[in-house]
A and B are shown apart, each in its own frame.
Chain A
Amino acid sequence: MEFHTSGEAEIAFRNIHPLLAGLIRSIPDALSHEELSSAAEARLYPAPTSDPDLDDLRDDWNAFVTPGLQSHFQSARDIVGADLRRFTATEDDAELTIPFKHADAWLNVLNQARLALAASVSFDEEALESGEMPDLLTERGVVIFRINLYAFMQQCLIDRLDRSE
């Protein structure tokens, strides 16, 4: 899989292997309500404090801030979902083109997906830094592979955003 920038308006991932294309297409699945574990939900919407004396803050947060965050995350998912519907693929490879103005939404959704997946398999620092190819015959291995694939895509987007600053 290669990362390309086409002028200022677009960024693209090209020569995407069909296996990777399938995993990219499945980004929204990691965030569907049916798939989202309570651990993932807790990670996406963390408490604003651990101070036991600040129950009022936690209550206000749940009432007023969390709905705003849910809406913000859903907006990003909608943008990414629309881009994924334009994902072109053949039997051998695929190409994903992303309007540059959607880069922030992609960063956000890739992060949502990585965090949700990590929470589902208790992904820790050790798994992240092992450097070993995960065992793709296990569910955990596939999840770790997806987390790393989405991290690669995030890093490409961050590098591109860095260059535009």
Chain B
Amino acid sequence: MATRTTELPETTTETAPALPWNVVVHNDPVNLMSYVTMVFRRVFGFPRERAEKHMLEVHQLGRSIVWTGDREKAELYVQQLHSYLLLATLESATR
């Protein structure tokens, strides 16, 4: 039986890189600064200095972007921060 091969045009599939999302923590007058620092260390594994830097940003500037990356993971971080009762939101990093 004769076989015939057909040459297909070469195609490439490219996936657009996922757009980044920010996890933002907002200031509130009730949460203790030491508590916020402790939560940042636990949730993100930040060393104390970095956790304190973000805590002070929240306190002094009203908000701090604590993490940027893909949406699924950002949602998980916001959920974790809410479980510690921090005011956290998700926002597109490209706006």
Contact = CB atoms under 8 A, between A and B. Distances in A.
Interface in B26-44: 28-32, 34-35, 38
B30 A123 contact: yes
B25 to A, nearest CB: 11
B85 A155 contact: no
A69 B82 contact: yes
Contacts of A142: none
Label chain B's interface by main secondary structure: mixed
B87 A48 contact: no
A106 B35 CA distance: 13
Given A47-B89, A125-B29, A147-B30, A107 B83 contact: no
A48 B78 contact: yes
A123 B85 contact: no
B38 A50 contact: no
Contact of A154 (B32, B78, B91): B32
Contacts of A36: none
A123 B78 CA distance: 24
B90 interface: yes
Interface string A123-165: 1110110000000000000000001000100110011011000
28 contacts: A43-B28, A46-B88, A48-B75, A48-B79, A48-B82, A48-B88, A48-B89, A48-B90, A49-B91, A50-B91, A51-B91, A51-B92, A54-B90, A57-B90, A72-B83, A107-B35, A108-B84, A108-B85, A111-B30, A111-B85, A115-B28, A123-B29, A123-B30, A128-B29, A154-B32, A155-B32, A158-B38, A162-B38
Interface of B: 28-32, 34-35, 38, 75, 78-79, 82-85, 87-92
